[in-house]
């Protein structure tokens, strides 16, 4: 193996598994340490720099960071990263003086944003402080997009949503035109904006075109139904409700139905449980509220008698489970009838662009979606950009935010005459965490405490109103326990090969056998003869240069390391050091390094 190039920020970034997995690359270990020190406002600002909506995401994020968390390799349960984000948001003090502000004089460039959802709001957050005048066109009478219309208030309280949206709208130089749907891209372009960002989301729910679909008004499209509930147009539902689909929207539909009078609520899944699209915690919350989830039921027909919905017919199926991927082959075991007063279709959603003319230089793909460049976020017509669900279909809010950051860089470059592909790479800082012979600037002992369980409002209370937030947040004791579970993966083991005397002290003291001093070789062969076999091929091995005594190499399995620092404590020559890694991410108009080389 060649010596590992640790000067590349990506190497240490990848070791910080949670930050690497986060689309916006939020500095998770740093904000958890700040929470541990009671510095909630600082923790909130660390979050806000990258993810823009800490309080919203602390309640609604799809948590891609948690499956990646190193703690799960130790005791099978990741750190409650998302819920700690909420802790920082709930316990922070007034941070208004730390938020970005627009300059008094604009730079003369005008940007139009279509939709006031998370992507457009994040674009405004990045560009307004640079002097751009932002105009957001929103079809509803309030901002927030699907965050407001499709996430029920019992998960995301209106006050929390309003506060973080207002933080952006109060930056300055941002105008929102409510009740102003865009029905013609050509007309929008004629308004003379310097650039356009399309952040209109995925506002169309998928239909289920089977017999009986159009013979009653008691069959609802999930996201449309949730919007009607959110704005008070629907305040009741029948006692027997069938939800078709098993994604997160289906979970919001079934739990909302429970609060509107539904008593016998069934979620109908075509496939076995291991293939559900809903997040595990969403499924748990629904089942806690006595929602029944039935697997292997494929919708066959709606049963209508005298214009009234009676229920649905389903093919009960048995799937052939493949070794990899989702099952595609099934056989019908029987056909069953399930009664229903209402049916809600939550089988997916998609973007819709009837308002974009097909003769203005914007190319569409085979799914009738505008083609968006995955590096520049630009349409095939120059000056039009996109992100969030409108670009590549439904994803989570955190993805919309990251798309917005990248699109904002492109919009800034476009307006300033800089090539869109001229994008600054991330850089990094490394600083020693050593404070004494056996003393570090982080807590490096292992705490065996288990993952803390979120406390919920009692079932007897939570159904009284639609806007009673179910999750109560962590108690101070729970916060103290949960922050101790973080392994501080951003405190990196940094090795200087010329200082090593090959005494094997670090190898002996390592509690997880992640270090090996051995003759060099090809990586596949080398992985098999380490102190512990390196089986996770997705995680890199560290390889030193030739050691001065024997020309052997130091190999470290980054996948196993728990960042305890014992190697650095034991090393008699300081060849090992624990250094804090800080990823510096470029944003629009903000280089990561301002010092000239």
pLDDT of residue 350: 86
Specify whether the CB–CB gap between 24 and 49 falls below 8 A: no
| 79-133 per-position pLDDT tens digit | 999 999 999 999 999 999 999 999 999 999 999 999 999 999 999 999 999 999 9
For the chain, give the mean pLDDT. 95
pLDDT of residue 381: 98
pLDDT of residue 595: 42
pLDDT of residue 594: 45
CA distance 157 to 151: 9
Q: State whether residue 368 is helix, strand or coil.
A: coil
CA distance 51 to 273: 31
> Quick one: average pLDDT of 4-32?
96
> Quick one: average pLDDT of 348-371?
94
| 173-190 per-position pLDDT tens digit | 999 999 999 999 999 999
Specify whether the CB–CB gap between 120 and 194 falls below 8 A: no
CA distances from 491 to 105, 494, 563, 565 (A): 42, 9, 7, 9
| 215-261 per-position pLDDT tens digit | 999 999 999 999 999 999 999 999 999 999 999 999 999 999 999 99
pLDDT of residue 480: 96
pLDDT of residue 501: 97
pLDDT of residue 222: 96
Using CB atoms within 10 A of its CB, is residue 355 exposed (0-12), middle (13-18) or buried (19+)?
A: middle
Q: Which of 261-270, 368-377, 441-450, 463-472 has the lowest mean pLDDT?
A: 441-450
- pLDDT above 70 for 420: yes
Contacts of 378 (CB under 8 A, 6+ apart): 372, 384, 385, 410, 414, 420
Specify whether the CB–CB gap between 9 and 427 falls below 8 A: yes
CA distance 362 to 381: 5
CA distance 353 to 275: 30
pTM over 0.85: yes
CB atoms within 10 A of CB 538: 6
Q: What share of the chain is helix, strand, coil (3-state, %, to 5)?
A: 30, 20, 50
Give the HSE-up count for residue 569: Cα atoms under 13 Å, Cβ half-sphere. Answer: 12
> Quick one: average pLDDT of 535-560?
93
Specify whether the CB–CB gap between 527 and 534 falls below 8 A: yes
Q: Confidence class of residue 596 from pLDDT cuts 50, 70 and 90?
A: very low
CA distance 466 to 461: 11
How far is residue 226 CA from its own chain's centroid? 22
- pLDDT above 90 for 414: yes
Alpha-carbon Rg for the chain, nearest whole angstrom, is: 27
> Quick one: average pLDDT of 577-582?
96
pLDDT of residue 253: 98
pLDDT of residue 441: 86
Using CB atoms within 10 A of its CB, is residue 539 exposed (0-12), middle (13-18) or buried (19+)?
A: middle
Instruction: Locate 241 and state its tokens.
Output: 């409700």
- pLDDT above 90 for 7: yes
| 499-528 per-position pLDDT tens digit | 999 999 999 999 999 999 999 999 999 998
Specify whether the CB–CB gap between 66 and 79 falls below 8 A: yes
- pLDDT above 50 for 52: yes
- Closest by Cα among 236, 224, 197 to 346: 224
Specify whether the CB–CB gap between 146 and 222 falls below 8 A: no
């Amino acid at each position: 193996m060649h010596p590992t190039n640790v000067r590349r920020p990506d190497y240490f970034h990848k070791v910080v598994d949670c930050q690497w997995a986060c689309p916006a690359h939020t500095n998770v270990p740093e904000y958890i340490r700040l929470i541990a020190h009671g510095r909630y406002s600082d923790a909130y600002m660390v979050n806000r720099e990258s993810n823009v909506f800490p309080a919203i995401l602390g309640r609604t994020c799809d948590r891609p960071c948690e499956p990646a968390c190193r703690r799960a390799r130790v005791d099978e349960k990741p750190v409650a990263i998302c819920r700690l984000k909420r802790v920082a948001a709930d316990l922070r003090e007034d941070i208004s003086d730390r938020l970005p502000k627009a300059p008094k004089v604009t730079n003369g460039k005008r940007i139009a944003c279509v939709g006031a959802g998370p992507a457009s709001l994040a674009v405004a957050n990045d560009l307004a402080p640079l002097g751009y005048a932002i105009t957001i066109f929103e079809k509803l009478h309030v901002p927030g997009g699907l965050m407001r219309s499709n996430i029920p208030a019992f998960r995301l309280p209106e006050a929390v949503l309003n506060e973080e949206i207002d933080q952006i709208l109060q930056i300055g130089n941002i105008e929102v035109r409510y009740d102003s749907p865009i029905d013609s891209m050509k007309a929008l372009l004629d308004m003379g904006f310097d650039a356009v960002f399309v952040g209109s989301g995925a506002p169309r729910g998928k239909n289920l075109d089977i017999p009986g679909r159009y013979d009653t008004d008691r069959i609802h499209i999930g996201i449309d139904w949730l919007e009607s509930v959110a704005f008070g147009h629907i305040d009741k539902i029948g006692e027997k409700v069938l939800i078709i689909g098993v994604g997160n929207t289906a979970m919001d539909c079934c739990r909302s139905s429970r609060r509107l009078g539904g008593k016998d609520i069934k979620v109908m899944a075509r496939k076995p449980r291991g293939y559900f699209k809903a997040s595990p915690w969403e499924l748990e919350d629904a089942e806690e509220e006595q929602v029944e989830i039935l697997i292997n039921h494929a919708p066959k027909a709606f049963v209508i008698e005298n214009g009234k919905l009676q229920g649905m017919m389903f093919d009960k199926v048995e799937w052939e489970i493949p070794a990899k991927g989702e099952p595609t082959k099934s056989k019908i075991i029987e056909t069953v009838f399930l009664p229903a007063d209402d049916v809600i279709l939550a089988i997916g959603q998609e973007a819709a662009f009837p308002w974009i003319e097909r003769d203005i230089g914007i190319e569409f793909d085979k799914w009738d979606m505008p083609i968006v460049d995955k590096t520049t976020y630009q349409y095939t017509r120059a000056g039009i950009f996109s992100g969030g669900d409108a670009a590549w279909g439904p994803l989570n809010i955190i993805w919309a935010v990251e798309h917005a950051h990248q699109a904002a860089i492109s919009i800034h470059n476009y307006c300033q005459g800089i090539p869109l592909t001229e994008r600054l790479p991330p850089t990094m800082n490394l600083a020693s965490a050593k404070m004494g012979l056996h003393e570090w600037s982080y807590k490096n002992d292992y705490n065996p405490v288990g993952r803390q369980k979120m406390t919920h409002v009692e079932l007897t209370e939570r159904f009284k109103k639609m806007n009673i937030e179910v999750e109560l947040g962590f108690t101070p004791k729970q916060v103290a326990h949960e922050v101790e579970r973080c392994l501080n993966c951003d405190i990196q083991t940094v090795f200087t090969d010329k200082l090593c005397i090959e005494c094997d002290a670090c190898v002996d003291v390592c509690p997880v056998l992640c270090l090996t001093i051995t003759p060099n070789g090809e990586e596949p062969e080398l992985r098999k003869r380490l102190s512990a076999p390196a089986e996770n091929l997705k995680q890199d091995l560290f390889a030193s240069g030739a050691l001065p005594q024997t020309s052997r190499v130091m190999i470290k399995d980054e996948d196993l390391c728990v960042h305890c620092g014992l190697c650095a404590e034991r090393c008699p020559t300081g060849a090992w050091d624990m250094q804090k890694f800080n990823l510096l991410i470029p944003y629009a108009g903000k280089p990561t390094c301002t010092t000239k080389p």
